[in-house]
Structure formats: structure tokens, C-alpha cells
Amino acid sequence: MKFYRHFLALPALCIFIFAAAADETGSQTLSVAAETPEVPVKPQPPGRRSLSLPSLNYAFSVEARCPDDWAPASLSLNIADSRISKAGKDLENQVNQQLDITVPARQLAPLTLRDFCVIDPADEGSATVVEKPDAPPQVPVSNRLRLVAALAHASLRCTRDDQEKTVYVSQPLDVTLICEASDAEGAVTAR
């Protein structure tokens, strides 16, 4: 019976030790948020199509905080083969970082689309986008499609004396496809 009392006290003791260790180191924070780029798409015949994305520009808001008595050594952000890094000196005075990164088209996988931005057979040559002569062109919500295009990986390395801690975060990155009129400039064509 005495054995069981000691056995039951062990989890409570472990929780107390872990809580004390957490209070000693403080909290290490790394969060990443990105703005979603928009890509205009030209209407295509109905069916399944592959869409190769152009280069995408992502603007990130990154919160990077080391525990008390620890100093930030480095912050890195990766998307496919694109990378941006900041050294400890650039991180010491700012918790919130604004980072911009351009991902070249060759680093992005094609997206498979079905029945998005298709030419209406009744109108032959025009998509479902309707333009009014006196008003700027409006794109209905149904002509917008938000998809995951890539994955961002971020890491924050913190140091204290000869110790290091690293925290990692992954974030899916969206792209919004917008169905444009067939004569719009700069629109991407699905294949």
C-alpha cells in the first residue's frame, strides 16, 4: 500500500519540476503570418487543367521572442528553395519582424484546376465575369479561388552562454486565383 502512495505522488512531483523548469526559461515564441498574393487567370475551355504559377511575392509578419536571459542568434524563413535570414544583431531590438520573400515560378508546383474560370459555351470566348460599362469591372466571389500554393518553414535560434535552443514553425501559404476577362493583360493561362 505504501508503494502505491509513492507511485501516485510521482506524477505530481514531475508536474511541479516541469513547471519550475518552464518558469526558469520563460517562453520562446515564433509565429508567422503571411499576406495572400493574388494571381489573375485567363478563362479556359471546361475540363481539368494544370496551372503553372508565376513568381509569388509574400510579405510576412513574424513574431520572434526568446526566453528571458536568452538572446536571439538567428531567424530564418524558407519557402521551397528560397530563403531569408536575419542575424542576432538585427533581432535584438525588435520582436516583430517584417520580411518579404519572392518565390520564383520554377520553385512552385503546378496547381490542378477543374471547372474554375472556364469559358461558357453559350457565350463562346467570354468567361462568367460580367463588366458594366460605367463601373469598374467587378469579379464575383465565385470567380475567386483560394488554394495552398506552398509551405513556409521558419526557425528561431536563441543562445545563452554556451547553450542553444531552436524553435520551428511551419505555415501553409495560400494564393488567390482571380478569373479575369479573356483579354486582360498579365493573366496566367492554364494548360
Q: Is the pLDDT of residue 43 over 90?
A: no
Residue 171: inside a domain, yes or no? yes
What does the pLDDT look like over 66-76, one tens digit per residue?
888 898 999 99
Kindly report the backbone phi and psi dihedral angles of residue 135, in degrees, each rounded to the nearest multiple of 5, phi listed first: -115, 155
Does 185 reside within a domain? Answer: no
9 in a domain, yes or no?
no
Number of domains in the chain: 1
Gap between the Cα atoms of 50 and 44, Å rounded: 11
Q: Is 127 within a domain?
A: yes
Per-residue pLDDT tens digits for 120-130: 766 554 444 44
Domain span at 95: 27-179
Is 41 inside a domain boundary? yes
Mean pLDDT on 20-36 = 70
Is position 4 within any domain?
Answer: no
Residue 65 maps to a domain: yes
pTM: 0.69
The CATH number of whichever domain residue 69 belongs to comes to 2.60.40
Nearest alpha carbon to residue 54 among 39, 36, 33: 39
User: So what's the pLDDT on residue 143?
Assistant: 87
